[in-house]
Amino acid sequence: MASFDKADIEKLIDGVLPWPATQDMLKSSKDEDRFDKYVEIMQARVDFEDPILLPLTPMLFIVNDNGSRVVKCRCGQCFGDYRVNWKLSALIYVRDDEEKMEQVYVGREMPDPGWIQLREYICAGCGAQLEVEAVPRGCPPDFEFLPDLDTFYRDWLGRPLPDTCEFKDATLDQINEWAK
């Protein structure tokens, strides 16, 4: 079973690992300790102390914040319960007319805002652009991934988390609150 130095994995993440070494990683059997090394690397790079449970994206992490599983940006900005689509706790900027659209796409490269809108999800803490959606009006935001964390840790990694949490999408609970 292959195993790679943490330093090489860091270089890979930063896009500076030489191509032969990258090819080696691509072709080798996957290293069983990669997840733990990756989490260690990311933990050292974020601006918070809460232990990372899952790197949701390169910028967003599900963390254990004093017993609560919440999503945090690498800057520490909190987006709440990981079972609620984190986008509901983000800032959003929507390009839904030509004036806003042409700041990104000019001339013949501009999509038609009657067909599609660009939704930019921004971190209120650091101003990072976390995701962009290109969808027609009416499309609920994609909840890209709702992990089954307990199954993952208990059955796949073989080390259950100290507490459990129901695997459910709680996004509509938040919407219902707003609708009151």
Partner 1 sequence: MSATASTMTSNTPLRDRMHANDEAFKTTGSLFGLTALTRKEDDPGTYEAVWHILSNLCNTAWATGCKVSSSPIAAEGGDALWGLHTATGEAVCISRGISAHAGLLSDMIKHFIELGYEDYPGFKQGDIFENNDPHYGGIHSPDFDMCMPIFYQDKLVAWASCVSHVSDSGSVTPGSIGFLNPDCYSDGIPISMERVGEHDAFYPWYEMRIRSRTRTPDFVMGDARGRLAGCITVRERLHEVLDKYSLDFVLDAMNEYVEDSRRYAVKRVKTQTVPGRIRKSQFKDLAMKGKRVLLAKQDIDCMFNLPMDLTINADASVDLSLAGASGTVPFGENISPTALKSGLMMGYSHVVGFDMFNSGPTTAWNVEMPPGGSWANPYPVDYQAASGVAWAPAVTWLSNLYEVFGRLFQMRGFVEEMAAGSGSIMTAEFAGINQTGMYLTGLTLEQASQGSPARGYSDGQNSAWCIYTPEGDFGNAEVGELYYPILFLGRNVAPDSGGFGKFRGGLGHTAVWMVYNTPGLEYQCGDAGMRSKTVGNHGMYGAYPTVPDRPGYGHKTNLKELIEEQKPLIHERGGPDNPAVTSKITAELAEDSAVAPFVTPEALVDYDVIVHPISGAQAMGDPIERDPESVVNDLNEGWTTQRVAREIHGVVTTQPNGHVAADHEATAKRRQQIREDRKQRAVPFKEWWLEERKKVEAQENMDNAVRVMWESSMRLSPEYGEGVRKFWNLPEDFTFTPDAG
Kindly tell me which residue out of 46, 50, 54, 63 binds partner 1, with binding defined by CB under 8 A.
54
Could you tell me the smallest distance in angstroms from the CB atom of residue 74 to partner 1?
Answer: 11
- How far, CA to CA in Å, does 42 sit from each of 3, 36, 60, 74? 18, 10, 10, 9
Place of tokens 């995701």: 131
Residue 68 or 100: the one with the smaller Cβ distance to partner 1 is: 100
140 — alpha (psi -120 to 50), left (phi > 0) or beta? beta
Is 18 near partner 1 (CB under 8 A)? no
The answer to whether 3 contacts partner 1 (rule: CB under 8 A) is no
Stretch that binds partner 1, among 43-51, 63-71, 96-104, 158-166 (CB under 8 A): 96-104
Binding flag, residue 48, partner 1 (CB under 8 A): no
- Nearest Cα to Cα of residue 42 among 61, 26, 25, 66: 61
Residue pair 137/152 in contact by the 8 Å Cβ criterion: no
User: From the CB of 167, what's the least distance to partner 1, in Å?
Assistant: 8
Q: Please name the helix (run of DSSP H) or strand (run of DSSP E) that holds residue 169, with its range, or none.
A: none
- Identified binder of partner 1 from the candidate list 20, 108, 158, 166, rule CB under 8 A: 108
Using CB under 8 A as the binding rule, whether residue 142 contacts partner 1 is answered as: yes
The full length of the chain comes to 180
Assess 32 for contact with partner 1 (CB under 8 A): yes
Which residues, numbered 120-139, are part of the site for partner 1 (CB under 8 A)? 120-122, 124, 126-139
Alpha-carbon span 33 to 38, nearest angstrom = 9
The yes or no reply on residue 111 touching partner 1 (CB under 8 A) is yes
Neighbouring CB atoms inside 10 A of 100's CB total 15
Nearer to partner 1, 65 or 133 (CB): 133
For partner 1, the closer of residues 9 and 46 by Cβ is 9
- The one-character DSSP state at 31 is P
Residue from 65, 76, 80, 146 in contact with partner 1 (CB under 8 A):
146
> Cα–Cα distance between 126 and 122 in angstroms, integer?
8
69 binds partner 1 (CB under 8 A): no
